[in-house]
Structure 1
Amino acid sequence: MTWDKTRGPRIAFVGTGAQGASIGADFALAGLDVTFIEQWPEHVMAIREHGITVNLPTRTINTKVPALHLCQVAEIKEPFDVVFLVVKAYDTKWACQLIEPYLAPDGLVVGLQNGMTHEDIAAIVGRERTIGAVIEIASNMFVPGITNRQNDHDTSWFALGALDPKTQERVEDVADLLRNSGTVEVVDDIRSAKWMKLVVNAAELIPSAIVNLPLADATRAPGMLEVMRTAGYEAMQAALADGAKIIPIIGMPPITTNHPERYVDRIFEEVLTTFSQADTLTTSLQDWRKGRRAEIQEVNGWVVDMLRTHGQSAPINQRVLEMAFDIEAGRLEAHPENSKLLIEAYEAIADRR
């Protein structure tokens, strides 16, 4: 790494919502040089006045950290060595365009995001400056300056990997930074790792949001577990069609089966038992309850488009896509009764088998 070893790297978190703020707070408490860059004005003001507060399962932390609004990025004088991008997948390109002029020539951008955003990052800052990542933490934020993180360090998991093989040797130094917030694995095939996370995201994020229930409650609703698993099965088909490999993520043991559907079941169960609590709301449902857009096209839509490219269909993900867009357009309300519409789509598939 070429940053000053005595001073350490200059670090920015672009996007300091529930996830970014909690991880960034760990960095600040570790004494790292970290700056928050955020688009929510009230959140920036609250951090400046009271610091960032993170409520964890058994403790609460608070720390001061410099916070800039997007409009103040142009005032930055010294470039950043590492930028952790923690914005929504659909905000990736413009966020990278915003921060690229303030990235050191050999600086790195780490995409701590859902979806296959690594290629969007690389398109702006270059493959040699891009590190893909997988993140597994459950958090929520509804009050400026306060984030509620449901996973302490022992159950927070990350994977990191470079897109350019020449950059891979630098990933371990970035992993050491991120270990201030949880377990970090450096992987050689970050593209496959991100696909495996998208598989479980396709099963859980939007489907549970459509029925307006916490994740655990959604899986217990009659018929919904089968619907959600099938969305995951289709996503795995898309991953394999795209050349991804079935590899373990989120701390799972080495794969003992290459059966795609069994793997989906295992990873989904791991998310439910280790990384979720009874009241965990997926990020998509949080977005809708805040009146915001969710990552629909970037997850379930990615599955539909990938399988279509390979001459295949994804009927459950297609139905999820249609209902989610109807909810965002105001034509449908997120409600437990929506499970009937999803189950109808599932049963139609079952009848054709």
Structure 2
Amino acid sequence: MGRIAVMGAGAVGCYYGAMLAQAGEEVVLIGRPALASAVAGQGLIIDRATGREVVHLPVATDPGAIAGAELVLFCVKSQDTEAAGRQIAPHLAPDAVVLSLQNGVGNAERLAAILGRPVIPAVVYVAVGMTAAGHLRHHGRGDLVLGDAPQSAALATRFAAAGIPTEVSAGAETALWVKLTINCAWNAISALTRQPYGRILAAPGAEGVVSGLVAECRAVAAASGITLPEGLEDDVRRIAETMAGQMSSTAQDMARGRATEIGFLNGEIVRRAGLLGIPVPLNAAMTVLVQLAEAPAV
């Protein structure tokens, strides 16, 4: 089997790269210098409920390390899709398969336009965070849903062999919208309040705000031709119950002083709603407040 490259190896990319490497796959992570230094010195550390694992694998900082890879897991932040796509385009093997493991909707199409080749969307269901460079904490899950493409079935088998439960679905776009809605419901509130999901849900009035955010997302999805499942509101609530102590990725980005993906989460709902003439005041408020909170102080 050919080499796998993980472009944009943050928490998600490192997790899946490590899982594949542990299964005997040849994997290279492409990430920040701090990650490369940490993994070179101590290996990639993964803390799970079952104990600690240390995985040794190469980390590059040059996007050119993608050359020769048979499979590329594209894990960069949504706002960096075009720039990172241009960085890897000259180095991609002609027959390389590219998967977009990114938040939000539309990233696979944006990347495909840059690369001039198909990109398979993947919906990622994993709760994992980077506690320090090269040090992951896995909170739960780890499954993928791949869009229906000619290579998807073989990829699902390959991932399953590495302990990554993987489904192939023609409804991957709907699944991306479901995940987007869940992110819109929790991410901004967690980031602004610096609270985990369970404490948010327990706060008086918070459940009504979360429900309002979901209702706005449902309206925009419906107007975009996407029917979200009837039980989604229950699934959103269940997130706060099963991952009560988890902080959102947006909260983690803000805590580290990094740019968030808010423009491609609640901000994406606002953008689409504007084109459709649908009012989404709660999503608009969350977008503005997070953008203000992450702006440098004057």
Asked if these proteins are the same fold (TM beyond 0.5), I'd say yes
Structure 2 CA distance for aligned equivalents of residues 193 and 313 of structure 1: 23
Structure 2 CA distance for aligned equivalents of residues 289 and 21 of structure 1: 20
Deviation of 1:156 after TM superposition, in Å, equals 2.2
Is the Cα contact below 8 Å between 1:17 and 1:147 reproduced in 2?
no
Structure 2, unaligned runs of 5 or more: none
Name the structure 2 match of 1:245.
227
Name the structure 1 match of 2:2.
9
Structure 1 CA distance for aligned equivalents of residues 246 and 66 of structure 2: 40
Alignment CA distance shift 1:67-1:150 (3 Å): same
Deviation of 1:159 after TM superposition, in Å, equals 0.6
**Partner amino acid, structure 2, of 1:41:** P
**Large movers: runs of 4+ above 3 Å:** none
Structure 1 CA distance for aligned equivalents of residues 165 and 47 of structure 2: 19
- 1:302-350 CA-partner distances (Å, limit 9, x unpaired): 1111111111110100111121111112579xxxxxxxxxxxxxxxxxx
Is the Cα contact below 8 Å between 2:66 and 2:88 reproduced in 1?
no
Structure 1 CA distance for aligned equivalents of residues 127 and 86 of structure 2: 28
Structure 1 CA distance for aligned equivalents of residues 277 and 288 of structure 2: 20
Alignment of 1:67-106 (within 5 A): 67-69=59-61, 72-74=62-64, 76=65, 78-106=67-95
- 1:84-135 CA-partner distances (Å, limit 9, x unpaired): 011211111111221222222121211111111111111112353x110111
- Taking only the aligned residue pairs, the percentage that are identical comes to 29
For residue 161 of structure 1, the aligned residue among 147, 154, 173 is 147
Structure 2 CA distance for aligned equivalents of residues 43 and 210 of structure 1: 27
Name the structure 1 match of 2:158.
177
Name the structure 1 match of 2:18.
25
| Mapped pair 1:189 → 2:171 | yes
User: How many pairs align?
Assistant: 296
Structure 2 CA distance for aligned equivalents of residues 78 and 315 of structure 1: 45
Name the structure 2 match of 1:267.
235
Structure 1 CA distance for aligned equivalents of residues 163 and 123 of structure 2: 14
Structure 2 CA distance for aligned equivalents of residues 303 and 293 of structure 1: 19
Alignment CA distance shift 1:77-1:282 (3 Å): closer
Structure 2 CA distance for aligned equivalents of residues 187 and 48 of structure 1: 37
Q: Root-mean-square deviation (CA), in Å?
A: 1.8
| Mapped pair 1:216 → 2:167 | no
Structure 1, unaligned runs of 5 or more: 1-7, 163-167, 248-256, 258-262, 333-353
Name the structure 2 match of 1:123.
113
Name the structure 2 match of 1:317.
283
Name the structure 2 match of 1:58.
50
**Partner amino acid, structure 2, of 1:264:** L
Name the structure 2 match of 1:142.
131
Name the structure 1 match of 2:263.
297
SS in 2 for 1:138: strand
SS in 2 for 1:156: strand
Is the Cα contact below 8 Å between 1:202 and 1:300 reproduced in 2?
yes
Is the Cα contact below 8 Å between 2:197 and 2:239 reproduced in 1?
no
Structure 2 CA distance for aligned equivalents of residues 272 and 183 of structure 1: 22
Structure exhibiting the larger radius of gyration computed from Cα positions: 1
For residue 188 of structure 2, the aligned residue among 206, 217, 226 is 206
Name the structure 1 match of 2:216.
234
TM-score (norm 2): 0.93
Structure 2 CA distance for aligned equivalents of residues 77 and 289 of structure 1: 30
Name the structure 2 match of 1:341.
none
| Mapped pair 1:107 → 2:88 | no
Structure 2 CA distance for aligned equivalents of residues 78 and 17 of structure 1: 20
**Partner amino acid, structure 2, of 1:59:** G
Structure 1 CA distance for aligned equivalents of residues 169 and 67 of structure 2: 31
Is the Cα contact below 8 Å between 1:229 and 1:264 reproduced in 2?
no
**Partner amino acid, structure 1, of 2:77:** K
Is the Cα contact below 8 Å between 1:236 and 1:264 reproduced in 2?
no
Alignment CA distance shift 1:77-1:30 (3 Å): closer
